[in-house]
Structure 1
Amino acid sequence: MIRLFHVSDIHFGAEDREALDWFARQTRAERPDAVIVTGDLTMRARSREFAAAGEWLRTLERPVTVEVGNHDLPYFNPLARFAAPYRRYEAVERAIETPLEIEGVAVVPLRTTARFQWRLNWSKGRVSGGALARSLKLVGAVPAGDMVLVAAHHPLIEAGTKSSAHTHGGVEALAALARAGVAAVLTGHVHDPFDIAHPVEGRTIRLIGAGTLSERVRRSPPSFNEIRIAHGRIDTIVRLLGERDRPLHPRPLGGAAGKG
């Protein structure tokens, strides 16, 4: 059985230290096969926030891949946002958008952030043609028979959560990923966990969202997902700080978000 810890929206700068320490203890004790971070390591993309995030990731002592979130782009420095938006990632550079291959399971990155958008709220998601093409190329290189998971920051379609993603190009990207044989898309951004079984063009693709380890909670306390994969089956368990673990049973889109 493959075990993955899926965590998101850590927001160094507005982090919950108790939650971070709890996650690190669980990771070191249980040693999952990998840790998948689906964006927003930082609050304002400051260098000191990335440095703190990099040090924390090193303490986990596991293979890690990190997606870029909207909060990981420079916020107060427009010149840096456009000219060198990823320069401050040096502390975590090796983990950024790193594909993983773990005993028959491949994790492929998909970037859903943009330096500029033709709308007022740049925090929302966007899948560009180039980003989708890069991800599909990686999916195509996965050995036949392996299960493919895609990791992104923004949900590609709305998941019925309190917060929204409004991802431009998300519907088209989801269809292309389903056609390519992707089993699940792991995301963050909305700060609440969910697991959806969504039909796309005669296929079913799972949409799995993680909560947050920051102080910026929504409906759920700080949490992360444990994803178990065995015999072609994906099971999601929400691990909640101070509460009992909760299995997430895949629901159809439109069901109650975050319910097991």
Structure 2
Amino acid sequence: MIRLFHVSDIHFGAEDRAALDWFAGLVRDEAPDAVVVTGDLTMRARHREFEAAAKWLEGLGRPVTVEVGNHDLPYFNLWARFVTPYRRYRALERMIERPLDLPGVTIVPLKTTARFQWRLDWSKGHVSTRALQQALALVEAAPAGHRIFVACHHPLVEAGTRSTSRTRGGRGALAALSQAGADAVLTGHVHDPFDIRHPSGGGTVRLIGAGTLSERVRESPPSFNEVRIAETGIETIARIMGATPDQSLSPPAA
């Protein structure tokens, strides 16, 4: 069995230090096979926030792969946002979309952020044709028999959470990824955990969203997902900080 710790929306600059220490302690004690971060490492994409995030992730001592979130684009500096939007990621460059060597499992990155959109709220998701083509190529190149997980920041379709993603191109991207063989899509952004089966592309794909380890909670306390991958299927457990018991999110078998 492969165990992934799926964490999102850590928001260094508005991080919950107790939640970070709790998560790091569980990583140390339980040694998951890998940690998958689905965006928003920072609050305002400041250098010091990226440096703090890099130091914390390196301290986990496990294989880590990171996808970009909308808060990881420069917020105040428009020149940097449009011309060099990912320059401040240099402290993390070894972890950004890092391939993971996991038996029977392939993690495929999909960028859902945009430097500019023709709408007022640029925090929402956008899947470009180029980003989708790159992800589809990686899905198709995955070894036969692998379970394929797509990692992106924004949910590709709405999952009934209080916050929304309104991802442009998301529904079509989800159908294409499902048809190509993706088993599940790991996301963040909405700060509440979920796991639903979604009919798409002529089949069914799992949509798995992680909560937050920041102070910016919504309906749920700070949490992350433990994703267990076995020959018999995929199980998602929301690991919740505090007195609330962990919750199995996995939907009933179809």
2:120 aligns with 120
Deviation at 1:219, TM superposition (A): 0.2
Deviation at 1:90, TM superposition (A): 1.0
Equivalent residue of 1:226, what SS? strand
Query: Deviation string for 1:174-205 (max 9, x for gaps)?
Result: 00000011000000000000001011133110
Identical-residue share of aligned pairs (%): 70
Query: Contact between 1:45 and 1:71, CA under 8 Å: does it hold in 2?
Result: yes
2:241 aligns with 241
TM-score for both structures, normalised by structure 2: 0.97
Deviation at 1:232, TM superposition (A): 4.4
Query: Contact between 1:127 and 1:167, CA under 8 Å: does it hold in 2?
Result: yes
Query: Deviation string for 1:42-79 (max 9, x for gaps)?
Result: 00000000000000001110000001000000000000
Runs of 4+ in 1 over 2 A off after TM superposition: none
Equivalent residue of 1:94, what SS? coil
Query: Contact between 2:210 and 2:224, CA under 8 Å: does it hold in 1?
Result: yes
1:229 aligns with 229
Query: Deviation string for 1:134-169 (max 9, x for gaps)?
Result: 111111111111110000000000000000000000
What are the ranges of 5 or more consecutive residues in structure 1 without an aligned counterpart?
Answer: 253-260
Query: Contact between 2:179 and 2:202, CA under 8 Å: does it hold in 1?
Result: no
Query: Deviation string for 1:188-245 (max 9, x for gaps)?
Result: 0000000010111331100000000000000000000000011140000000001221
Deviation at 1:101, TM superposition (A): 3.3
Query: Contact between 1:13 and 1:43, CA under 8 Å: does it hold in 2?
Result: yes
TM-score for both structures, normalised by structure 1: 0.95
Q: Would you say how many aligned residue pairs link Structure 1 and Structure 2?
A: 252
Query: Contact between 1:6 and 1:226, CA under 8 Å: does it hold in 2?
Result: yes
Equivalent residue of 2:50, what SS? helix
Query: Contact between 1:178 and 1:200, CA under 8 Å: does it hold in 2?
Result: yes
What are the ranges of 5 or more consecutive residues in structure 2 without an aligned counterpart?
Answer: none
2:186 aligns with 186
Equivalent residue of 1:134, what SS? helix
CA distance in 2, matches of 1:32, 1:185: 19
CA distance in 1, matches of 2:201, 2:23: 37
Amino acid at match of 2:130: G
Equivalent residue of 1:106, what SS? strand
Deviation at 1:251, TM superposition (A): 6.8
Query: Contact between 1:100 and 1:108, CA under 8 Å: does it hold in 2?
Result: no
Query: Deviation string for 1:67-98 (max 9, x for gaps)?
Result: 10000000000000001000000111111112
CA distance in 1, matches of 2:145, 2:51: 38
Equivalent residue of 1:100, what SS? coil
Query: Contact between 1:126 and 1:169, CA under 8 Å: does it hold in 2?
Result: yes
CA distance in 2, matches of 1:201, 1:40: 29
Q: Where do residues 11-50 of structure 1 align in structure 2 (5 Å cutoff)?
A: 11-50=11-50
1:168 aligns with 168
CA distance in 2, matches of 1:245, 1:196: 17
2:96 aligns with 96
Query: Contact between 1:106 and 1:146, CA under 8 Å: does it hold in 2?
Result: yes
Distance change (3 Å), C-alpha of 1:173 and 1:232 = farther
How well do the aligned residues superpose, as a CA RMSD in angstroms?
1.1
CA distance in 2, matches of 1:121, 1:138: 30
